[in-house]
Amino acid sequence: MLRSAFLGTFWKSDARSMQTRIAFRILAIGLGVLHTYAAIKSQSMNADGINYLDIGDAYFRADWATAINPVWSPLYSWILGLVNLLFKPSMQWEFPTVHIVNFFIYLFALACFEFMWSNVRNTTQSDSPQLSEPSWWTLGYLLFIWVSLSLIQLWAVTPDMLMAGFVFLAAGIIAQIRAGDDGHRLFVSLGLVLGLGYLSKTFMFSIAPIFLELAWLVQKQRRASLFKPLLAAGIFLLISLPFILLISNVKGKFTIGEAGTITFLRYVNGMPFPHWQGNPDRGIIPTHPSRVIHQSPAVYEFGEPIGGTYPISLDPSYWYE
Q: Give the per-residue pLDDT at 280.
A: 81
Q: Is the pLDDT of residue 79 over 60?
A: yes
Round to whole Å and give the CA distance between 272 and 185: 48
Q: Is the pLDDT of residue 207 over 80?
A: yes
**Intra-chain end-to-end CA distance of the chain, in Å:** 77
Residue 137: enclosing H or E segment and its boundaries?
helix 133-146
Q: Is 35 left (phi over 0), alpha (psi -120 to 50) or beta?
A: alpha
Residue 248's identity, in one-letter code, is: S
Scanning 153-287, the segments in alpha helix (DSSP H) are 160-178, 184-200, 203-217, 227-251, 259-267
In this structure, of 20-24, 141-145, 169-173, 217-221, the range with the lowest mean pLDDT score is 217-221
How far, in Å, are 19, 212, 261, 275 from residue 207 at the CA level?
36, 9, 17, 32
Round to whole Å and give the CA distance between 93 and 43: 9
Computed on alpha carbons and rounded to an integer, the radius of gyration of the chain in Å comes to: 24
| Residue 301 confidence class, pLDDT cut points 50, 70, 90 | confident
Work out the average pLDDT over 147-169. 95
Mean pLDDT taken over the chain:
89
In this structure, of 22-36, 48-62, 204-218, 264-278, the range with the lowest mean pLDDT score is 264-278
Q: Give the per-residue pLDDT at 284.
A: 85
